[in-house]
Structures are given as structure tokens and as C-alpha cells.
């Protein structure tokens, strides 16, 4: 939730895509350029949608 609040209005919380995890977690989708200062101890990873796949751009 804090990641979502730090980004602001250009973000949306949704379930984690099944392609990334089989758990029932939540993800924050955003279109802004990623800034590492948005992360905290609860942020596991940041992915970028690349066509039909996902690319890791930051990981704890």
C-alpha cells in the first residue's frame, strides 16, 4: 500500500498476475518511470510488461 501512495494518482492496485506468482498477493500497476526511492522493506520486485512477458527491472 505504501508503494501505491508514494507513486500517487498514476497507479492502481490489482492482484499479482499469475505469470509472476501463484500467491494471492497484490501488485501496483503504474506507467511512470520507475524510481527506486519508492521502494521499502515490503517491496519484493518491480517488473515491466514486455509484450506477453514480464521483465524484472528491480528486485530486493
8-44 pLDDT, tens per residue? 667 888 999 999 998 888 998 998 888 898 888 988 9
Q: Is 28 helix (H, G, I), strand (E, B) or coil?
A: strand
Does 3 have pLDDT greater than 60? yes
Cβ atoms 14, 4 nearer than 8 A: no
Alpha-carbon dihedral 34, 35, 38, 41, rounded to 10 degrees:
90
Domain count, the chain: 1
pLDDT at 49: 93
> pTM score, two decimals?
0.79
Report the alpha-carbon distance of residue 31 to residue 10 in Å, rounded. Answer: 7
Range of the domain at 48: 2-59
Amino acid at each position: 500500500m505504501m508503494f501505491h501512495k508514494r507513486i500517487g494518482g498514476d497507479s492502481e492496485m490489482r492482484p499479482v498476475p499469475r505469470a509472476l506468482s501463484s500467491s494471492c498477493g497484490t501488485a501496483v500497476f503504474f506507467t511512470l518511470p520507475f524510481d527506486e526511492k519508492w521502494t521499502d522493506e515490503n517491496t519484493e520486485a518491480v517488473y515491466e510488461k514486455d509484450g506477453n512477458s514480464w521483465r524484472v527491472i528491480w528486485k530486493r
